[in-house]
Structure 1
Amino acid sequence: MAAEPLTELEAAIGTIMDRLHTYALIEDQGFYLSFKVFKILVNHELPHILKDVGSLDEKMKSLDVNQDSKLNFNECWRLMGELAKPMWEEKVLEVLKK
């Protein structure tokens, strides 16, 4: 990476990646998160977002493309996006109300 300071968004992405890796190390899964560990991550790191989400189990299963009951980076990233949808929708509503 460049020697220049990261933008806020770049730093945020780096933080997400660091957290995903930290949790992957819980079960020594390398670059994967088991469903069990992903639930731990979500409960600890995204408690406010989690309350606005339906069944986390269903979301994990639907995004586990290769159906191996663990999430690789792409699957995690897509699932994080799914979990963030209610936040996005809230922002859209705020703009529409103005």
Structure 2
Amino acid sequence: MVLTDAEGRVMSCSPVQPGSCADITQARQLGLAQFLADGPFMEIPEDAGYQGMGAQTGGRVVTPPHRKVKKEARGSRSGRRSQGMRASGAGTPAIT
């Protein structure tokens, strides 16, 4: 993990970790959350992989809002089919 300032100058570079190690896990292992929480207040924009770190840093890490899945969108299509219509018939009346 490489930390830079606003101009892109390297401030810190951590040891290499396997690619399977999540960024937020590595940040926690390095003590980055505690470092940010104890330091001066600044907002640090991050990607969604860092969700949850904002609470640990006193709001310093800002991530995109968590998307909520709409449950009613999944099953709503079956209720729209009119009676007597087949699901695979593309609008042809069912033979009764």
Taking structure 2 as the reference length, the TM-score comes to: 0.24
Q: By percentage of residues, which structure has more helix?
A: 1
Taking structure 1 as the reference length, the TM-score comes to: 0.24
**Highest CA radius of gyration, 1 or 2?**
2
Higher relative contact order (CA 8 A, sep 6+): 1
Q: By percentage of residues, which structure has more strand?
A: 2
